[in-house]
Structure 1
Amino acid sequence: MPARQPYLVNNSMTGTNVYKQYLQQQQAEEFPERPGQPVCSYFLRTGDCKFKSNCKYHHPKTQTAVFPSCTL
């Protein structure tokens, strides 16, 4: 009987982070980009906005929440 070939799995998803892609897509749908409008200050501070897609302000995708430095 010939030797059995090893079972190989070709998983093309191993190099990508599916959850991260999902979060980016969800953020794009929830927080609208409105170039020319003032930036949503709450979104800049927290990375969230309670108005989501109804907010009239700009939510830049490249901007991350800025947390104040706290020293004790």
Structure 2
Amino acid sequence: MKVTIDEVKCCGAGQCVLIAPEVFDQRDEDGIVILLDAEPTAEQHSTVREAASVCPAAAIHLSEES
């Protein structure tokens, strides 16, 4: 799995950080998402998919390619 983010779309809701803190963080100044791991382990795929699905701005994009 490969994760990409669209910082322009991100609204800083922080749901991704709550669900998958090992993959996502937020900038202190504006709450915009920071991608910590663009290629999470197989064990993290489920939580990363959940984080992408609950993102209110659809700013998280997943590719199943390795």
TM-score, length-scaled by structure 2: 0.24
TM-score, length-scaled by structure 1: 0.23
**Larger relative CO (CA 8 A, sep 6+): 1 or 2?**
2
- Report the structure number with the largest CA radius of gyration: 1
